[in-house]
A = this chain, B = another copy of it.
Amino acid sequence: MRKLTPDSLAISEEPHPIGVFDSGIGGLTVAAALRQLLPGEDIFYIGDTARVPYGGKSATTIQRYSREISDLLLAESAKIIVVACNTASALGVPRLKETLHVPVIGVIQPGAEAAVRATQNGRIGVIGTRGTIASEAYQRAIYALDAKVTVSSQSCPILVPLIEEGWIDDPISDAVIERYLEKFVSNGIDTLVLGCTHYPLMREAIQRFVGPGITLVDSAANCALAVRDLLQEKGLFAPVNHRGNLRVAATDATDGFLRVAEKALGIDVGEVELRTVRGGS
- Would you give the shortest CB distance from A174 to chain B, in whole angstroms? 10
Beta-carbon contacts of A248-281 to B below 8 Å, as 1s and 0s? Answer: 0001110100000000000000000000111111
Contacts of A172 in B (CB 8 A): 172, 175-176, 179
With beta carbons under 8 angstroms apart, the residue of B61, B157, B276 that contacts A50 is B61
Q: A51-B281, A172-B176, A280-B278 are in contact. Are A58 and B162 (CB under 8 A)?
A: no
| 8 Å CB contact of A165 from B158, B171, B279 | B158
Q: How distant is the Cα of A60 from the Cα of B252 in the complex, in angstroms?
A: 9
Q: Mark A47-78, 1 if CB is under 8 A from B, else 0.
A: 00111100011101100000000000000000
Smallest CB separation, A22 vs chain B (Å):
15
Q: State the number of copies, please.
A: 2
- Answer yes or no: A161 CB below 8 A from chain B CBs: yes
Sorting the interface of chain A by its residue count into under 10, 10 to 19, 20 to 34 or 35 or more gives: 20 to 34
Q: Give bound CA distance, A56 to B277, whole Å.
A: 18
A123 to B172: give the CA distance in the assembly, Å.
29
Residues of B within 8 A of A41 (CB): none
- Which residue from B130, B176, B280 sits with its C-beta under 8 Å from A280? B280
Residues from chain B with a CB closer than 8 A to the CB of A160 are 161
Task: Tell whether A164 is near chain B: CB-to-CB under 8 Å.
Answer: yes
Contact check, B252 vs A58: say whether CB atoms are below 8 A apart.
yes
Residues of B within 8 A of A276 (CB): 280
* Complex Cα spacing A158 to B160, Å: 10
Smallest CB separation, A272 vs chain B (Å): 12
Closest 3 CB pairs of A and B: A281-B281, A58-B253, A161-B161
